[in-house]
Chains A and B, each alone.
Chain A
Amino acid sequence: MIMTRHPRLRAPAVMAIGGSVIAAAVVIGQGWAAAVPVEVVTIAAAIGYYVLGGRGGDLGAIIGHRTDERQESIRVRARSLAAQVAGLAALAGYVIELARGSAVWPFELFVAVLAGSFLAGLVIYRTRGAGPDGAHEQRSQTIS
């Protein structure tokens, strides 16, 4: 995780770095011309995220990493939903590619990583004795 002194910069920074890595891969595979739109979209998305992160309300707090415990639980649940949908999408892709007789290893890898990280999460958070919001709860206790 990227740690910054300005939490609002965290999500845009991750987005900018991730997008730039993808753009670099596009440069290698398809050349500069194909990579430019990827980088433009990345920069636009990072700026958009930065702007959203400065707004009030739950969405701004979550994107800007200024959450309280309720907003943190919303974030955790949203991430859980996203992971479930990603898993289902990978499963659907796996079945479709299997039926088409194409290479299925990327889907197998994705599902294996997803299942492995779920099991790792069970082991880690079972022994930690905190809720899904454990780290945040510790922070809250420090405040009081």
Chain B
Amino acid sequence: MSQREVAAALGVSRQTVIAIENGRYSPSLPLAFRIAQFFGSTVDAMFDASEEVRT
């Protein structure tokens, strides 16, 4: 599945998908839930709270 397809399904830009993948952006809670739902997983399984986002 391409980043473009994931972005379209989540209603965000491809750049945002890349930023989340690279740990440069922490999604909002609603978006985090959408991501988890999209991949059939849970938020805490998808995101590691101990990881700090580089801003």
Tell me the A101-144 residues at the B interface (CB within 8 Å). 131, 133, 137, 140-141, 143-144
Tell me the B1-54 residues at the A interface (CB within 8 Å). 11-13, 15-16, 19, 25, 27-28, 30-31, 33-34
In the complex, what distance in Å separates the CA atom of A143 from the CA atom of B30? 10
Q: Does A61 count as interface, using CB distance less than 8 angstroms?
A: yes
CB-CB under 8 A from B13, the residues of chain A are 58, 61, 68, 70-71
The residue in A57, A61, A140 that gathers the most chain B C-beta atoms within 10 A of its C-beta is A140
- 0/1 per residue, A17-29, Cβ < 8 Å to B? 0000000000000
Q: Does A69 count as interface, using CB distance less than 8 angstroms?
A: yes
In the complex, what distance in Å separates the CA atom of A54 from the CA atom of B28? 26
- 0/1 per residue, A71-85, Cβ < 8 Å to B? 100000000000000
CB distance from A109 to the nearest CB of B (A): 35
The residue in A70, A131, A144 that gathers the most chain B C-beta atoms within 10 A of its C-beta is A70
CB-CB under 8 A from B27, the residues of chain A are 69-70
Closest to A141 in B: B30
